[in-house]
Structure formats: C-alpha cells, structure tokens
Amino acid sequence: MSKIVIVGAVGGGATAAGQIRFYDPDADITIFDRDSTMSYAACGTPYAIGNIIKEPESLLMADPQQFKEKRNIDVFLKHEVLEIRREAKQLLVRNLDSGEQFVESYDTLILAPGGSAVIPEIVGLSSANVFVLRSYGDMQGIQRFIKENKPKTCVISGAGFIGLEMAENLKHLGLNVQIVHKSSQVMSILDSDISERIEAELAANNIQLHKDAVIAKAGPQKVELSDGSQLEADFIIMSVGIKPNTELAEGAGLPIGKTGGIVTNEYMQTEDPSIFALGDASENTDLITGEAKRVPLAWPAHRQAFLIAQKLSGNAIPKKGLLGTSVVKIFSLTAAMTGLNERTIRDKGLAYKTVIHQGNSNAGYYPDHAKIMLKIHYDAASRKILGAQCIGGKGVDKRIDVLVTAIYAGLTIDDLQALELSYAPPYSSPKDPINMAGYKAFGK
C-alpha cells in the first residue's frame, strides 16, 4: 500500500487528496496543515466580509472528520511540517498545540503550501491596524475588527484582485475606502485602456485612487504616502503581492525557478520524482511562449491536483501550459483576460496585430443589455490568438471563456467569425461580439 503525505489542506492539497482517493481506494493518505481550517473557498472571503455572502461558514467545504468518514483520509490541522528528509523519505512534523515533534514517513510527498501575503517594511506599521486576506482566519479577523471597532475609513495597499474586491466589499459596508497603488495603472496584468475603465468605475463609486505611490509611514489612524499625501485610515488592508511558500522545498534542496516557484516537470514532479508540487508555490510554463510561469489562482491548482492523481494511478497525463485566465468584478463592471497582454507581447518582440470590438453584450433592443469592449491580440503571421481582454457590464466571462477555448484549440483570429455561437436576444446578437472581432480582423 502506497503511503502518500500531502503538505497543505486548502484548495490544491485537499483536491489532490480527494482525486487520489477516487482513483486509488487503497492508498494511505495523510494531510498536514498548520492552519486551523481546511478546504475553504478562499476566493469567496471578500464577499463574506462585505456581507454579500451572509453565511461565512458556507465557504468551508470540509473538515477533518468529514474527510476521514467519507474518504478515509487523515487530516491533521495545526501541524507544521518543519523538514523534508529526502534520503530517508521522512518528514519532521510539529504539533502546534502541544509543541510535540514527530517523524512521519512517506512513499510519495505532495507539496501544496500555497503563498503568503507580502507585507512591506513601513515605518510605524506595528502601531497600525493592519490586515491581509490569505486565509479563513484572516477573514474572521477583519470581520471581528469591523464588528468591534466600527471603523469608518480604510486604506488598501495594492490594486490587484484582492485590493479591488476588498474595495468594493468594504464600500458595500459603508466605509470610506482609498486605494494606494505603486504602479501607474490598476490591475497591471491588463492593458492600460482596460485598466482606465476600471479606474473610472472606482471613481464613480467614490473610491479615491492614489497611483504611483506607496505607504511610507503608518500610525493608529493615519498613513503617509511616498508623495506626501496624508490619509485617514482606521485600518489597512495589505494586498501588494503573494510570496510562494517555498521554504520547506528549499530546505530539502529542491530547485526553485525564476518565477520563485518550485520547479516541476510535465507531471508536476519536482527534481525528486517522489515529490510533487502544485498550486501557488509551483512553477509551470506558459501555454503560448513555453517560458516559466507561475499562476497563483484556483483553476491551475485544481487541474494540477487531477494530473498528480493520474500520474500516481498509472495514467500519466502531461500538463499543458497555463494562460493565466482570470476575471474580477468591480462594482457594475466585470473585467477578464487570458493569455499575453500587450506589454508582454511587446517585451518579447513578437509581431502582432490587435482587433477591438465595442458593442452590446446582447441585443440592444432587449431591456437588459450592457456595453462591452473586447480586445484580442494575435500573431501577425500565423494569425494565432496570443491573448484577449474584455470589460463590460455583463457577458464578459462568456466571451473570454470562448477565447480560452479558441487558444487551446489553436484557432486563428479568422476562425472566430465561423463559430456558431448561441443566440437569443437576452444573451447575444446574431453576430456575437466574438464573431464581430473575427470579421473585423479578416483581411487586416
């Protein structure tokens, strides 16, 4: 009987355990995690804070007892793996409650340690109320602070996914919210013209944005920015980035790639074939360029869990590269992207063309319709799609998902006009925006 030990019990680790059990009913599976909760929907935490999700407990997908009863998987929470002893195939584990240390053996080890929020060194930060949002416990801490202290102002550092989602949800609670962002545009993974629409939406909802600035000093109720601005802040949300938790892998001598993630092969194995890595801390490849890529999002972690389970069950499926497909809600807007953005394409010196379509999400005469902007970059010679972005009031995710499928299938920009997409006035137009982009690019 194979003994499989997994480090990390959130999305990737818990999913890997469940997948392995599905394909191997006899495997001995054990999970260790230093947190006090497991298998929670981390992407839902901003909406629980904003009281959009009324029952935060609904984000908890499972607990150790359920995993044991339903899947015969042993889960040990508040247990930290301190060391990997590769030659002996052993782990040194510490029970965080008792302080006891013990040795656990393994035949296969799966690392799903996730990532940690980056907290910059800022003068006076220790005297301020500072929060990050990387765990269920972080969510509870923010909720508790808001309930007990009834704050009126918040400064969010960072205008990425978490920063924007938290801005909307805190505004929903009635707080005065300001965002500080070190770059000249929000959501730097997007093209600047798409980001500008997000910035306009923030302004329309009275979210003040301070670009090209960082928090230089902090205090109990105020922060000072690098541009000299003074902002009131009953508390601060830090969302400036995520650092992959690779310390355990590094201590075991496993290679770390240029993206900062644990290097993995086509089957998610590290340099040591008995050790796999997945999720936020793993380095993968870009589907379009073939270069190293790290995508700390939910979909890649779940897919990688399936690939590991297949490899261990004797049905090895090599991974494809990642596109970094993502979507975010900002008040009345939705923005989504996949593949390469324009800045990356230019940095790589690729010859490309761009087609932009601005129109309606569905029939303009139908009462419920919205404006959308669809932007697609494609190779000038092969006409293969390199990347796409879309922003608008509705139907944005649908269009990006079609383009993800087109890229994966190797379709060209010209193939888009021939796609027979579903149409009825509440959903689209006889020529969908995807079709229109293909027609506009034809012969260009």
Q: What is the DSSP string of 336-374?
A: EEEE--HHHHHHTT--EEEEEEEEESS-TTSSS--EEEE
* CA–CA dist 90, 32 (Å, integer): 13
Per-residue tokens: 66: 């359920």
Contact in structure between 437 and 406 (CB atoms under 8 Å)? no
Q: What CATH topology corresponds to 3-116+243-312?
A: FAD/NAD(P)-binding domain (3.50.50)
Contact in structure between 110 and 5 (CB atoms under 8 Å)? yes
Over residues 2-29, the pLDDT tens digits come to 999 999 999 899 999 999 999 999 999 9
- The distance between the two most distant Cα atoms of the chain, rounded to a whole number of Å, is 70
Long-range contacts at 218-223 (CB < 8 A, ≥ 24 apart): 218/122, 218/123, 218/124, 218/125, 218/127, 218/128, 218/130, 219/124, 219/127, 219/128, 220/127, 220/128, 220/129, 221/153, 223/128, 223/155, 223/180
Strand partners, 335: 328, 391
pLDDT of amino acid 1 = 72
Contact in structure between 311 and 348 (CB atoms under 8 Å)? no
pLDDT of amino acid 443 = 74
pLDDT of amino acid 367 = 95
pLDDT of amino acid 212 = 97
* CA–CA dist 130, 265 (Å, integer): 38
Every domain range in the chain assigned CATH 3.50.50.60: 3-116+243-312, 119-240
pLDDT of amino acid 444 = 72
Strand partners, 179: 156, 209
pTM of the model: 0.95
* CA–CA dist 187, 27 (Å, integer): 43
- CB within 8 Å of 98: residues ≥ 6 apart: none
Contact in structure between 125 and 155 (CB atoms under 8 Å)? no
Contact in structure between 33 and 10 (CB atoms under 8 Å)? yes
Residue 154 bears catalytic tag = no
First to last CA, the chain: 60
Task: Give the residue ranges of DSSP H helices in 246-387.
Answer: 247-251, 298-312, 342-347
Residue 418 DSSP code: G
Per-residue tokens: 404: 């993800």
Exposure b/e, 133-152, CB count within 10 A at least 16 = b = bbbbebbeebeeebeeeebe
Domain 333-441 belongs in CATH node 3.30.390.30: yes
pLDDT of amino acid 11 = 85
* CA–CA dist 287, 71 (Å, integer): 34
Low-confidence ranges of the chain (pLDDT < 50): none
Domain 119-240 belongs in CATH node 3.50.50.60: yes
* CA–CA dist 443, 385 (Å, integer): 15
Considering the candidates 3, 23, 24, 43, report the single residue annotated as catalytic: 43
Every domain range in the chain assigned CATH 3.30.390.30: 333-441
* CA–CA dist 334, 345 (Å, integer): 23
- CB within 8 Å of 190: residues ≥ 6 apart: 198, 335, 337, 341, 389
Contact in structure between 114 and 239 (CB atoms under 8 Å)? no
- Give the pairing type, strands 385-392 and 371-379: antiparallel
∠ at Cα 215 (211, 218), nearest 5°? Answer: 150
Contact in structure between 92 and 103 (CB atoms under 8 Å)? yes
